[in-house]
Amino acid sequence: MPTRRFSLVLAALLALSGCAALPRSEAVGANKYAPRPAASPVDIGADWNWLVSGDRAISPVQVFSMKGKTYLQMRPQQIVPAIVVAGVPVPFQISQPYLVIHGEPREIDLISSGYRAVVVRVGADQAPKIDNSIDRIRRAAIQ
């Protein structure tokens, strides 16, 4: 039994010795690495200038457009709404977790079961004008 206790104490001391700091002169000499520059930002050409408003039940988490397509990221298990552009339903592809629309419209309406959300592309100098005073059921009606 004493040899087992000695083995455990020795193992604990060896494990803790890795945590001990080396003297400053040895640590600096042993760890000479060239400084690395900070990572530069990556521009993949995505346009993030989109504003989402409306009912959370069908609102996307994020929206961006890139290379002639618009990507709407939906939450897991979220209702997939009808996508309407200029009063006309548009087809879309599902590429998890995105709904992908061909084209980059200025405004997209998302409609489902009395819910409505609006996705608007904005420029740096313009602010969208969205009327939130209308009740939810009337907003969902396609006019």
Cα separation of 103 and 101, whole Å?
Answer: 6
The pTM (predicted TM-score) of the whole model is 0.59
Pick from 45, 86, 95: which is nearest to 68 by CA?
Answer: 45
Enumerate the domain spans of the chain.
50-140
CATH code that applies to domain 50-140? 2.60.40.2500
> In which element (H, E) is residue 27 found?
helix 24-30
User: 25-74, pLDDT tens digit by residue?
Assistant: 444 555 566 666 666 666 778 888 999 999 999 999 999 999 999 999 99
> What is the predicted pLDDT for the residue at 121?
93
In degrees and rounded to multiples of 5, residue 29 shows phi and psi of -65, -35
